[in-house]
Amino acid sequence: MMGVSMEEQQGIPTSDNPPSAKIAEACDSYPSSACSIVPLLTPTLPPSSSATTWPPPPEPIGPTPNWVPAGYVLSAGPRTQSRLNLYSLWGLAGKSLAQSDVFHRRLPSDVRHVILAAGSPGGLRSGGVIIDMTTSDPSLAVEIHSAASSSGCSSVDAPVSGGDRGARLASLSIFTGGDETLVTRLTPLLNHLGRVYYMGGPGKGQFCKLANQVTIASTMVGLCEGLIYAHKAGLDLSNYLNAISTGAAGSKSLDLYGNRILKRDFEAGFYVNHFVKDLGICLRECQNMGLALPGLALAQQLYLSLKAHGEGDLGTQALVLALERLNNVSLESGSSKSLAEGKN
Residues tagged active-site = 209
End-to-end CA distance of the chain: 63
Q: Which residues contact 313 (CB under 8 A, 6 or more apart)?
A: 268, 271, 272, 273
Q: How many CB atoms lie within 10 A of CB 331?
A: 21
DSSP state, residue 89: -
**Residue 286 CA from chain centroid, whole number:** 22
Give CA separation, 78 vs 61, 85, 93, 101, 130, in Å.
13, 10, 10, 19, 16
Q: Which residues contact 69 (CB under 8 A, 6 or more apart)?
A: 47, 49, 50, 51
130 in Cβ contact with 153 (< 8 Å): yes
Strand duo 102-106 + 22-27: pairing: parallel
132 vs 60: CA distance, rounded Å: 20
DSSP state, residue 233: T
Q: How many CB atoms lie within 10 A of CB 68?
A: 23
Alpha-helical segments (H) within the chain? 6-10, 81-84, 90-98, 111-115, 138-150, 163-169, 180-190, 204-232, 237-245, 252-262, 272-289, 294-308, 319-327, 339-343
Please state whether the peptide bond connecting residue 55 to the residue before it is cis, i.e. omega within 30 degrees of 0. yes
